[in-house]
Chains A and B, each alone.
Chain A
Amino acid sequence: MWKAIKRLTSFKNFYRFSGKLLPWFGAITLVLFLTGLYWGLVIAPIDYLQKDSYRILYIHVPAAWMSLFVYIVMAASGAIHLVWKTKLSEVIANSCAPIGATFTFLALVTGAIWGQPTWGTWWVWDARLTSELVLLFLYIGYMALHSAIEDRASAARAAAILAIVGLVNIPIIHFSVNWWFTLHQVASISVGKGSSLHPSMYWPLMVMTAAFKFYFATVLMMTARNEILERDQNSNWVREEEKNL
């Protein structure tokens, strides 16, 4: 069992398998984005109160959701690496950090741009905004810590521990709008209660969310494959795999 898992998650197997998946994921991402953008920017009706400015929703919300999702993937991979010392989980965790930081940055910036006409301010030290900013610092901290430590094994361990400790911020972000009733609105969509968004706005949002998910998987594979290629560049399987290009 253990040996089978080791073999399945070997660099070589992941590299080959992800190489087959990549074009499909890339194509699905593109189709979802084009559909979601057209639906959200052209077909979806304008909002009664916010008019067209509400259309920022279709990137703000998926980016914010992904900022949390990617962090959980990163911390989980880090934890798996700490416990079982698997190489692939280390690579996955590292590959999550830059793209996760970008999603967080986008959630913050599109939120600020949206806040200006709707709240009358770019920024306020609201609980949701502040905890999301902390998330950005956690991602940056992960990358800084990882690159500051020379020895790769220690760097991976330290970064994984940072990621796991930072997990406490995730429920804080999620529940911040209920715990501290400040400025950011409460969730319109939740797993238990369903959605208070009108279907004409809900469905394009779901397509954009799926687009972001597939985009993340695509970028994650590309980044992880590069790190694998770099680490195993002198191994026979890499030469065998890439000699024909």
Chain B
Amino acid sequence: MSLNEFFYMGGYAFHVWTSYGLTLLLLVLHIVLPIRRRKQLLRRIHKTIKRESAS
């Protein structure tokens, strides 16, 4: 099977790749958002620790 054939999906390229693309997008989003949230939280926690040890 050639790469072109693979992307053509027997004429169902739109259906197959829209489904897989949307799934990929949403599944990645559910990984990226918690990572960003975690960074935010850790930054806040470190700030508090620093402030308290300074005073």
Number of residue pairs spanning A and B whose beta carbons lie under 8 angstroms apart:
88
Assign chain A's interface to a size class. Answer: 35 or more
Of B1, B15, B27, B34, the contact of A113 (CB 8 Å cutoff): B15
Check: A55 CB closer than 8 A to any chain B CB: yes
B30-A98 in contact (CB<8A): yes
A223-B34 in contact (CB<8A): yes
| Minimal beta-carbon separation of B10 from chain A (angstroms) | 4
A51-B11 in contact (CB<8A): yes
Given known A-B contacts A52-B10, A114-B15, A226 and B34 have beta carbons under 8 A apart: yes
Assign chain B's interface to a size class. Answer: 20 to 34
Chain A residues whose CB sits within 8 angstroms of the CB of B35 once the complex forms: 222
Check: A16 CB closer than 8 A to any chain B CB: no
A245-B11 in contact (CB<8A): no
Check: A147 CB closer than 8 A to any chain B CB: no
**Which residue of chain B is the closest to A233 with respect to CB atoms?**
B45
**Which residue of chain B is the closest to A241 with respect to CB atoms?**
B45
Given known A-B contacts A102-B26, A102-B30, A215-B27, A60 and B45 have beta carbons under 8 A apart: no
Chain A residues whose CB sits within 8 angstroms of the CB of B11 once the complex forms: 51-52
**Which residues of A, 117-131, contact B by the 8 Å Cβ criterion?**
117
A19-52 near B? 1/0 per residue, CB < 8 Å: 0000000000000000000000110001000011
Check: A86 CB closer than 8 A to any chain B CB: no
B9-A55 in contact (CB<8A): yes
Chain B residues whose CB sits within 8 angstroms of the CB of A110 once the complex forms: 19, 22-23
Complex Cα–Cα for A51 and B5 (A): 13
| Minimal beta-carbon separation of A34 from chain B (angstroms) | 12
A146-187 near B? 1/0 per residue, CB < 8 Å: 000000000000000000000000000000000000000000
Which 7 A-B pairs have CB atoms at the shortest separation, nearest pair first? A52-B10, A222-B34, A53-B12, A52-B9, A110-B19, A51-B10, A52-B12
A-B contact pairs, 26 of them (CB 8 A): A41-B16, A46-B10, A51-B10, A52-B10, A52-B12, A53-B12, A53-B16, A59-B20, A99-B30, A102-B26, A110-B23, A114-B19, A116-B15, A219-B30, A222-B34, A223-B34, A226-B37, A226-B41, A229-B41, A229-B42, A229-B45, A233-B45, A234-B48, A242-B45, A243-B46, A245-B42
Kindly list 15 other residue pairs between chains A and B, CB separation below 8 angstroms, not including A225-B38, A230-B41: A51-B10, A51-B11, A56-B16, A59-B19, A98-B30, A105-B26, A106-B23, A109-B19, A114-B15, A116-B15, A117-B12, A117-B15, A219-B34, A222-B34, A233-B48
Q: B residues bordering A, Cβ < 8 Å? A: 1, 6, 9-12, 15-16, 18-20, 22-23, 26-27, 30-31, 34-35, 37-38, 41-42, 44-46, 48-49
